[in-house]
Amino acid sequence: MVVRSAGEARRTRAVPTASIRYEDTSVREVPFRQLRLADFRESRPWREVRSVHGMPHYSGKYASATTGGHVVYESLLELARLLLADFDPEVEGIFAQPCRLAAQVGDRVRHHVPDFLLAMRSGTVRVVNVKPADRLQDPKIVEALAWPGELLQCHGWDYEIWSGADRVLMENVRFLAACRRPGVVPESEVERAWQQVVDGEQLGLAEHRLAGDKPAEEARPPLLALLWSGRLTTDLSRPLSGESVLRRRA
């Protein structure tokens, strides 16, 4: 691995490269064919994300249950994709703005910073670019997103261009996210609910049964925490309600 200054990293290269920033402020340029997931350990986002009053986009930091830390985003659409990644039990690592790609495309060198890199439990890597659907009608945007996809797929990594998800699904996931962080719902209550919940039972009935003599809503947070973690599942394409059917996941 070659360590270079930020200025040197900007020089054009015929060989595709990925430049990565690290917490110690160094920038490392890796030939793309040698790039591995391990290269992103101790890395930081390529750009500094600041939220300034009057900006047309909303940026910020999301407290991720998957990473146990904060992940930056630069728009509400990016935040939505980040929320789904955090909710996905198959995702075990999330890196925002993981690197800056450089490659010869046609007669010039192009640069690109992907929005997210997702490390999957299966061992695969998925790189995600987030763009509103209306912007994908612009040929320049399509071209700018195409060459990184070709480069990544030739490397054996998955590539995704994401423009949004079903509104009901997103509302359900946002609701469940309130219970995403460890300690928000006491672990003893979560385990008690897990031991007692019946496969195929409706959420409302489970709440009443688990609550006993207490108000039914007191039994709701542990069930929601189990839904967030994926130990329980239900049809999230419909609004979450007392009629939602719970399924135990092995």
Is the pTM here over 0.75, yes or no?
yes
Instruction: Report the distance separating Cα 44 and Cα 29, nearest Å.
Output: 14
* One domain, residues 153 and 54: yes
pLDDT at site 87: 98
Domain-located, residue 102: yes
Q: Give percent above pLDDT 90 in the chain.
A: 85
Question: pLDDT tens digit string along 185-200?
Answer: 999 999 999 999 999 9
Provide mean pLDDT across the span 54-69: 85
* One domain, residues 145 and 56: yes
* One domain, residues 138 and 92: yes
* One domain, residues 89 and 104: yes
pLDDT band at 14 (very low <50, low <70, confident <90, very high): confident
Question: pLDDT tens digit string along 197-232?
Answer: 999 999 999 999 999 999 989 999 999 999 999 999
Q: Give percent above pLDDT 70 in the chain.
A: 92
CATH number at residue 68: 3.40.1350.10
* One domain, residues 194 and 119: no
Strand-by-strand arrangement of the 125-130 sheet: 91-96, 116-120, 125-130, 158-162
* One domain, residues 149 and 211: no
Please state the domain count of the chain.
Answer: 2
* One domain, residues 89 and 153: yes
Helices marked H in the chain — which ranges? 6-9, 76-87, 139-154, 167-176, 187-196, 203-211, 220-229
Domain-located, residue 78: yes
pLDDT at site 4: 43
pLDDT at site 58: 82
Q: Residue 183: name the closest of 222, 126, 129, 155 by CA.
A: 222
Q: Which domain holds residue 187?
A: 167-248
